[in-house]
Structure 1
Amino acid sequence: MRKRANGEGSVRQRANGRWEGRLSFLDPATGKRRSVSVYGGTAAECRRELKKVRDRIEGGQPVKDAPDTVGAWLARWRASSLAASDRKPTTKSLYDSLSRTHLERAAIGAKRLDRLKPSDVEAMIVALRAKGLSDSTVRQVYTVLRQALDVAVRDGLLASNPVAKVKRPTVARKEATYLSPADVSRLLDAARSMRYYLAVLLMAATGLRRGEVCGLAWSDVDLSKGELRVRHTLSRVDGHLVLTGPKTDRSRRRVPLHAGVVTELKAWRKQQVAERLAAGDQWTDTGVVFCTELGTMVDPRNLLRTVELAAKKAKIEKVGAHTMRHSAAVAWLESGVHIKAAADLLGHSSISITGDLYGHTSDDMARSAVDGLGAALGL
């Protein structure tokens, strides 16, 4: 065995012709002396590998990356770090599902942590796109893997995160689809006989999200002032309806109410009181504005069904989950409402989000703008 300088380890040729490098070091975690071996086809290759080990030790990194598979680590991460995090229940549920479906069961899940390369991550992104997944889903899967492996680095299983060396997948921003005020009015007329008509009207008049409307409590509504506070959102998580706080501070907001909406809400409250009396001891006191005949909370999907049924009845196409919200936003902007005010009403974290989603004008608005400038120029 050929000795190297102090602290550099030793290199020797094995009987099979390959070379082995061996290094002794003090494990800071246990305070005990340990040794590690590396192998190569030549002595020079072994010395290079030993240098990598020394660099890792000096940098406070694990001597070797863990041989666990990516899938096995992700399963442990879901059960520990993800479960213990302060993320919203909806986010935890989403990350759990993305990990199980698109990572642990995929080719990358069978890779060993100590052999995972940035090119493997890039191959995963290509495979996800080939499956026809949306840009946003591909980006979310990337985010889950990166966050899980950040924890592996923290726990000393990896020296560095190979996912961090791959550029985050981009998401092509799409302008929101919306209805004209006339079509919104037609849809509302078609929904008037349906139980959750007022919830749809509230979305159309305030731009609130479905979950925000379903999570709205009477204590959040001030009918005398004509305003409401958005403090909760209702979502379905793992088969259960869960009431949580809004995702961002900007989503916690005050929203003024039109006088016509206030009148409708007063009438709805009287109807709810009557339903409570009729239900007797079967009533569940949730305190929410929109509830079932027995007081229980309403799944946000029911509001979507109401919108879709009304749209079908009114023969209006291209109606989706956020149609009422998008239509309100576009109507505000096209009526001259400042984009900052619209962003505040919508609860967007920045006006750039509002601009990306609604930064367009209708043909009539574009023509009006051009004609107005032409008149100012004396054309």
Structure 2
Amino acid sequence: MSDYIRKRGNRYYPMIYLGYIGGKRKYKSGGGFDKRSEAKEELLKMQNKIKKNSIMIEADDMTFGELAEQWYEMHAKPTISYRALENYKGILNKSLVPAFGNVKLKTIQPIHIQRYLMTLKHLSPATIRKYFYVLKSIMDKGVEWKILEISPIKGITLPSLTTQEFTVWDNVQINKFLNIVKDTKWYVPFLLAFTTGMRQGEICGLKWSDYNTITGDISVSRSMQRNFKLKDTKTKSSRRKIVLLKKTKLALDYQKRCQEENENLLGKQYINSGFICTHNNGESINPENLGKTFKKLIKEYKLEPIRFHDIRHSFATILLQNGTNPKIVSEILGHSDVQTTLNVYSHVLPDLQKDTMQQLEGILF
């Protein structure tokens, strides 16, 4: 729903939509005017007052479910990526709304939040934190929108995070897989994954305009969602340039020639999408399909099971094991800071320290 001008008799009324309160749509009227233009002018003034928090929403009877609905429509949808939005929707529908949906906001206390978190103890600490993040975001918006005076989230104790565990492939396993997809449309996206550490959406979102044939690097500035929508990379550090291996550059050059040949062959049926990773008709590859294909090929060829995201971990692990500075690895991966890299790959670092000290011993003595 949205704000509008309501006509009643010969008078015009500016109506501000306040949301679902007490199970009903609620509006605030700005009074009657003789002319529609006057009512429209008043509506703009009221909207500006809302932006300045001058209009308070009467929400004594608002439930958590009603606030969650407004949070999803007014905050999450416009600002959050498609993939994250789907995850948040699942958390809401499967857990948060069943637990708190009909509970009035003013009655929710920190103890209720803590008890709820205890019911999630069968989940991993990382997953519990995701649930908590959604709950916190909803409550914080409630405070920001003047629906709540204070958030009941304060003082909550979260389970500590354990070291992330993942499986990686070595160079032999990587080359075996790349040989399997060598002469298929999947070769370029998987080669990019194994030689740059890019994420699924980042790979599928690459355009030819991102590839500098002179300098031999590629710019990462956007990500493709599962619904094919493009979204700017989530942080400043995620926007980066990656120097490509010679093998990768040769593959891209060949890919470009193949696309041009397919365009000449198919004519008007060819989709000139501008993307690097495409089907034979030029249509862009969906990142979800890329992940499904990876899983399918692993099963078909009886390879050691890893997730698509573990390709990224494999890339980083190989770099670190071969003495690459963690700061450089962090920049290539697009991490927010080097500490993130150190935390994720802490299991690799002890061996690096041992090798470094052995090298130092050889230099000094």
**Taking structure 2 as the reference length, what is the TM-score of the superposition?**
0.77
- 2:149 aligns with one of 159, 162, 173: 159
1:121 aligns with 2:113: yes
Q: Distance in 2 between matches of 1:169 and 1:66?
A: 32
Q: Is 1:186 matched up with 2:176?
A: yes
Checking the alignment, whether the CA contact within 8 Å between 1:276 and 1:283 is kept in structure 2 is yes
The Cα offsets for residues 29-50 of structure 1, whole Å up to 9 and x where unpaired, read as: 99xxxxxxxxxxxxxxxxxxxx
User: Which residue does the alignment assign to 1:70?
Assistant: 64
Task: Letter of the 1:298 partner, please give it.
Answer: I
In structure 2, C-alpha distance between the alignment counterparts of 1:246 and 1:350, rounded to whole Å: 16
* Residues 92-139 of structure 1: CA deviation (Å, up to 9, x unaligned): 4433332233211x2222322111111111111112233xx3333321
| 1:86 pairs with one of 79, 84, 87 | 79
1:40-79 alignment, distance < 5 Å: 66-79=60-73
- The 2-side partners of 1:170 and 1:186 are apart by 38
Instruction: Give the Å deviation of 1:275.
Output: 1.4
Pick closer, same or farther for the CA change 1:155–1:265 going to 2, 3 Å. closer
Q: Gapped runs of 5+ residues in structure 1?
A: 1-28, 31-59
CA separation of 1:121 and 1:65: change in aligned 2, threshold 3 A: farther
Answer yes or no: is the 8 Å Cα contact 1:233–1:243 preserved in 2.
yes
The Cα offsets for residues 340-378 of structure 1, whole Å up to 9 and x where unpaired, read as: 001001111111111112223399867755754665686
Cα deviation, 1:147-186, whole Å, max 9, x if unaligned, reads 2122222333322110133135543231442111122112
Residues 63 and 105 in structure 2, CA contact (< 8 A), matched pair in contact too: yes
Q: Which amino acid aligns with 2:127?
A: T
CA distance in 1, matches of 2:164, 2:337: 17
For residue 194 of structure 1, report the CA deviation from its aligned partner. Answer: 3.0
Tell me: CA distance 1:364–1:117, structure 2 relative to 1, closer, same or farther (3 Å).
closer
Contact between 2:185 and 2:280, CA under 8 Å: does it hold in 1? no
Structure 2: gaps (5+ residues): 1-27, 30-53
Larger radius of gyration: 1
Distance 1:81 1:193, change over 3 A: closer
Q: Does 1:305 align with 2:287?
A: no
Secondary structure of 1:110's match?
coil
Segment of structure 1 superposing worse, 313-322 or 184-193: 313-322
Output the CA distance in 2 between the equivalents of 1:193 and 1:184: 16
Structure 1 residues 129 and 284: CA distance shift in structure 2, 3 A: farther
- In structure 2, the partner of 1:100 is 93
> How far apart in 2 are the matches of 1:308 and 1:82?
30
Number of residue pairs the alignment of both structures matches: 314
Does the residue aligned with 1:164 lie in a helix, a strand or coil?
Answer: coil
Residues 305, 193 of structure 1: alpha-carbon distance in 2 compared, 3 angstrom cutoff: farther
Structure 2 match to 1:110: 102
189, 208, 230: which one aligns with 2:220: 230
Q: Could you say if the C-alpha distance between residues 171 and 290 of structure 1 is closer, same or farther in structure 2, counting changes exceeding 3 Å?
A: same
Instruction: Report the more deviating stretch, 190-199 or 333-342.
Output: 190-199
Give the counterpart of 1:203 among 158, 178, 193: 193
TM-score between both structures, scaled by the size of structure 1: 0.74
